Amino acid sequence: MILEVYRNNAWVDFSGLATSLRWRLESRSLESLEAEILDYVNVGERVRLRRGSTILFEGVVYEVSRRHQRGDIPRCSFTAHSDLILYERHVVFREYPTGTTAGAIIRDLASLEQGVDVAEVSEGPALTSNWSIENVEALKVMQDIAKATNHWLRMRPGKKLVYKPKTTSSPSASIDMGKILSAEYSEDRWRLRNRVVYVGAGGEVLADVYTGLGDLPLVVHDPFLTDSSEAMRRAQTRLDMASEYGRSLRLQMHQQIFSNLGLDLGDTVTVNLPSLGIDNEDLYILEIRYETDALLYEVVLGGRLELLEDVLDEKFGGDPAARFGKQMSVAEAAGNAIALSQSIAKRFTTQLIPQLFLTMYVPPIPYASGQNITYNDAGEIVLASGFTSGWFTLEFMPSSENVEPKILRFDRDVGGGNVTVNLKLGDGSTIKNNITSPYNFPYIPQRKTLAEKDASKWSISGGTLSDSSISVISRYSLRSTGTTAMTLTYPATGSLAWNLSQCRYFNIYVFPTANATITVRALTNTANYYSAQITTSAGKFQKYVKKLSDFVATGTPSWSNINQLQVILPSGTYYIDFDHVFTAITFEKLVVEVNMSRPNASSTSPKFKRATLFWSEVTQP
């Protein structure tokens, strides 16, 4: 190994003056070279490390420490980083429109330094919204993009910038005990994840990705996220990142063997170490370290155990997958914090921050009842031998009245036949037949509508209607007051075109100042509507639930075509709030009925592999 310093327009050999040298190449930090020499270097000088004619490292001296003890030779310790560190001195202001790829942004920022080769910069994902960058170091932007998109970011010698996906590729080498000096394998399932779920604004599940059984979920809540495609990108990134956690294989290899293998950061190798329980597994290289004192390389493959800095980085820096694209500003964060504190101080409002819960059925799937079915070797449900049809049921029961089902996902393989899935309630009534995965339970409309400063969208006869901060679901409710009977109609203009054919319940929150019986109507048009009466109690907000089967039809209305909603109130003052107005289920058993068939007994049986039901927390007054 030859250490050189660029001085007086030439590379000067300092190898004979070096007492120690360590070259470190890692996936999560800048490439570095640490050395101690019996001479001196200055901050900003260029250094490089080469083996023969092959340049392994080239960069800039970043830190220097000099010391001299009496009776000893002056010594200088320094740390150099690759030329990527040069972007730390550039503070940028940029505007990138929707559709700009991560690679295009990397190339644009790379142009801040002259002579940078960007041939190895891949495109990566594209922005789903405009991104404004103000007063941020270019290096931080580039590192955030790499982390958020799960890509390698590195500056090779010769100013060759690399931005490529962290994915396994065809193995470039194989490693066994004959090629290493020592091996240490560690595994910690604490951070191992094979499923990532993103919950966005209003508690909506925007993305759910998994590998294998998907039985080790990570749930990420982002109350400002509404774009499902962006949520899917983040979820896939977090799932890919999870492969770097939970297991770590640390190898020590002699310098000559490592050089002969020609390994580099990000390369995939086949590892066969049966004594450690690793049998011909393909793992990729995450770290490389070289120590001149021992003339050996230390290589880390396959993942790493979570370090404290990783924990702190996410705790204080937020979701790492959200660092590519528009982020919530400090002003927005402060505004939301102020709004939350104000709502608590008013003591009238419960601020709803939905939490997500999962019920999972994985092999062997514990079905409630069934006929002509059995388990295969993987624990999946299949048709029993000799049968051409069969069925089974899965039952889900909410843990409390404070949760509601949101999304049902299931995996099936029709094989040589067919699989149909029907959704029912515990009383045998059908919500919907022949559903597909994912099935989103109908909640109409979405949370925080109809009453969230929406008084202007209603019309009223016989009184006045205004927005009020006395509420139970969100931050506002409707305040209706009048000396005669009042009729509230939503929307004041236009039509809803709601299809409520899968809904079974009507929900409303009412706070009357006196006991009263109110009437609610669901209108197809003014001559054809459903109506029901609700008796309310004075003095507090209370949730009232009415079965749609109890509504009385006038004319020929249709639940599949509801265009207006009316609330008819006696004289007085009322506060009205809404969560989901029309729902398919309340606190009751949910049954998933699975029917399997095949044309003849010799055909390949269908398989049912798994089912997951996502529950969301709801507000109770």
Look at phi and psi of residue 531 and say left if phi exceeds 0, alpha if psi is from -120 to 50, else beta.
beta
Q: What is the pLDDT of residues 539-581, one digit of tens each?
A: 888 999 999 999 999 999 999 999 999 999 999 999 999 888 9
- Cα separation, 611 vs 367, whole angstroms: 11
CATH dotted code for 356-441+586-617: 2.60.120.1020
Residues in a beta bridge with 315: none
Q: What is the pLDDT of residues 478-536, one digit of tens each?
A: 999 999 999 999 999 889 999 999 999 999 999 999 999 999 999 999 999 999 999 99
Is the pLDDT at 380 greater than 50? The verdict is yes
2-85 placed in CATH 3.30.470.20: no
Amino acid at position 3, single letter: L
**Window from 258-272, 379-393, 513-527 with minimum mean pLDDT:** 258-272
- Cα separation, 224 vs 227, whole angstroms: 9
Tokens of 254: 């002699």
Q: What is the pLDDT of residues 309-356, one digit of tens each?
A: 454 455 445 566 666 766 544 444 444 444 444 433 433 333 344 566
Which residue do the tokens 């509801």 mark? 562
pTM higher than 0.75: no
CATH dotted code for 90-166: 3.55.50
Q: What is the pLDDT of residues 210-261, one digit of tens each?
A: 877 777 788 887 777 888 888 888 888 888 777 656 677 889 988 888 888 8
Task: Select the highest-mean-pLDDT range: 149-153, 216-220, 385-389.
Answer: 385-389
- Cα separation, 25 vs 573, whole angstroms: 70
Give pLDDT, residue 146.
Answer: 87
**Window from 226-240, 284-298, 396-410, 572-586 with minimum mean pLDDT:** 284-298
Would you tell me which CATH number, out of the four given (3.20.20.80, 2.60.120.430, 3.30.750.24, 3.40.228.10), belongs to the domain 455-583?
2.60.120.430
Give pLDDT, residue 28.
Answer: 66
- Cα separation, 504 vs 586, whole angstroms: 9
Mean pLDDT confidence for 462-491: 91
Mean pLDDT confidence for 383-407: 88
Give pLDDT, residue 342.
Answer: 42
Closest C-alpha among 27, 38, 43 to residue 3: 38
**Window from 7-11, 301-305, 588-592 with minimum mean pLDDT:** 301-305
- Asked, colleague to colleague, whether 356-441+586-617 and 455-583 share their fold, the answer is yes
Q: How many CB atoms lie within 10 A of CB 385?
A: 9
Tokens of 507: 């929900």
Query: What is the signed CA dihedral for 317, 320, 323, 324, rounded to 10 degrees?
Result: 170
- Domain coordinates in residue numbering, the chain: 2-85, 90-166, 193-244, 356-441+586-617, 455-583
Give pLDDT, residue 447.
Answer: 65
**Window from 290-299, 312-321, 594-603 with minimum mean pLDDT:** 312-321
Average pLDDT score over the chain: 84
Give pLDDT, residue 323.
Answer: 61
Is the pLDDT at 172 greater than 60? The verdict is yes
